[in-house]
Amino acid sequence: MKVPVWNPAVEFLEREALERLQLANLRKTVAWALKTPFYRRRLAEVGLHRPEDIASLRDLRDIPYTTKEDLRESYPRGLLAVDLEQVVRLHTSSGTTGMPTVIHHTQADLDAWTELVARCIVATGASRRDVFQNMTNYGLFTGGLGLHYGAERVGMLVIPASSGNTSRQVQLMRHFQTSVVHATPSYLLHLHSALMDEDTDTSPPSLRKAFIGAEPHSEETRRKIETLFEIEAYNSYGLSEMNGPGVAFECLYKTGLHLWEDAYLLEVIDPDSLRPCAEEETGEIVLTTLQRQATPLLRYRTRDLSHLVGGHCPCGRSHRRLARIKGRSDDMLIVNGVNVFPSQIEEALMKAPEVGTNYLIQVEKRGALDRLAVKTEVHAALFAGDARVLSDLRERIAERIRAAVLVKPSIELHEPGSLPVSEGKARRVLDLRPAF
């Protein structure tokens, strides 16, 4: 089979040539960064005054990290490295969890972003012959305009449906034979129920692919979407600080998300010790922009957790792959020295059919040790029957979670409605250990 590819010259670039390109782009990026007072000061502190001071990619390690707080403190002007007149777009985060952040773009920045998204789209096998219905919000949210520009570059027939209005989404899909959609995984599940409520009771036969992103989700959820719609679903990774979508995307083979390494210099680090992680070892993704003029970011700590996938992808692309995002470093618990992500516990829990949707993760100190407890609601009928059924279930769930996070929790089973109703993931985690 011929592998579909947008930019073979770059996507199949041999590793050595790719790293040479990265070095050249890193020097350019340092030159842009040095135009901002923030980076001039910060780089001077480590003796970096000129782009030529970067002799090899290894020298990256001398550059200090940039954090979300740095970005927030620079609001609203941002870490702007060009004249304001050269800026043609800005996006801001919603600022729901603190001050918003802002990213400025030159026309060249937008062109480069669009090129990256076009690569992502074509890597999944989608092409200009597809009808692409973009079901994510347009405007300041980067997902909508990001995919829109990429799809237009590819030459797909773009239906800028934007988010919401499910009955109209369904009409558009049916009337225009939509073959590819872009949406959050939760919206696709909602859309499927809406389709099933219709008289026709089938999903549109033209649909072939979905691009899913913008919210953390499990492999279970992806499989569910694929089965319900009888389509292929591809994971998309991006974050507003790195333009938005177009950072990493799954190819046809779904062996992990290829990260475009000519545009982003990738590191995975332990969020506590800051030491580099080995392949397959989970840590925080750290990214350096390599093509962005208006808002260069050096060693930006994304807080997103993942690991590098080893080996080679059958597609032949030289750009390395990230595993699906496991959560955010903010969410990570350290239990007896082991990194535990609530999302992994959730995923393991949800595999048991007896388990409802409500649960609570609790960590407390017992003497010198941490104790992990998972409380979850299960079907009411279980409490009426044999007590051994319950203890077997407890053991099965505990074992499943141990396999996922390497810590065996104690399991408490509760009747439906007895746990507090939680809103959002944060509320499901209770860390009762004393803070030193």
- Contact residues for a copy of itself, defined by CB under 8 A: 75-76, 84-85, 87-92, 104, 107, 110, 128-129, 137-140, 144-145, 152, 155-162, 172, 175-176
Q: How many CB atoms lie within 10 A of CB 309?
A: 17
Contact (CB, 8 A) for 137 and 144: yes
159/265 with CB nearer a copy of itself: 159
253/383 with CB nearer Zn ion: 253
Which partner in a copy of itself, Zn ion, none is near 251 (CB below 5 to 8 A by kind)?
Zn ion
| Location of structure tokens 């319950």 | 390
Which partner in a copy of itself, Zn ion, none is near 161 (CB below 5 to 8 A by kind)?
a copy of itself
Q: Out of 102, 161, 188, 251, name the contact with Zn ion by CB under 5 A.
A: 251
Nearest to 341 by CA among 395, 368, 305: 305
Rounded alpha-carbon distances, angstroms, from residue 371 to 306, 315, 366, 374, 406: 25, 44, 6, 10, 13
Q: Out of 80, 313, 322, 393, name the contact with Zn ion by CB under 5 A.
A: 313
Q: Out of 183, 315, 340, 393, name the contact with Zn ion by CB under 5 A.
A: 315
Which partner in a copy of itself, Zn ion, none is near 158 (CB below 5 to 8 A by kind)?
a copy of itself
Least Å distance, CB 368 to Zn ion, is 46
What is d(CA 77, CA 69) in angstroms, rounded to the nearest whole number?
A: 14
Which partner in a copy of itself, Zn ion, none is near 384 (CB below 5 to 8 A by kind)?
none
Least Å distance, CB 107 to Zn ion, is 29
Please name the residues in contact with 1: beta carbons below 8 A apart, sequence gap of 6 or more.
Answer: none
| Location of structure tokens 């060249």 | 108
Least Å distance, CB 80 to a copy of itself, is 11
Contact (CB, 8 A) for 238 and 216: no
What is d(CA 427, CA 103) in angstroms, rounded to the nearest whole number?
A: 30
What is d(CA 54, CA 56) in angstroms, rounded to the nearest whole number?
A: 6
Which partner in a copy of itself, Zn ion, none is near 166 (CB below 5 to 8 A by kind)?
none
Tokens matching residue 180? 């590819």
322/411 with CB nearer Zn ion: 322
99/323 with CB nearer a copy of itself: 99
214/298 with CB nearer a copy of itself: 214
| Location of structure tokens 């074992």 | 399
Please name the residues in contact with 107: beta carbons below 8 A apart, sequence gap of 6 or more.
Answer: 86, 88
Contact (CB, 8 A) for 234 and 260: no
- Say how many Å lie between the first and final Cα of the chain, rounded: 58
Least Å distance, CB 8 to Zn ion, is 13
Please name the residues in contact with 293: beta carbons below 8 A apart, sequence gap of 6 or more.
Answer: 32, 81, 82, 86, 106, 108, 109
Least Å distance, CB 211 to a copy of itself, is 17
Least Å distance, CB 122 to a copy of itself, is 15
Which partner in Zn ion, a copy of itself, none is near 20 (CB below 5 to 8 A by kind)?
none
121/360 with CB nearer a copy of itself: 121
Which partner in a copy of itself, Zn ion, none is near 176 (CB below 5 to 8 A by kind)?
a copy of itself
Least Å distance, CB 88 to a copy of itself, is 6
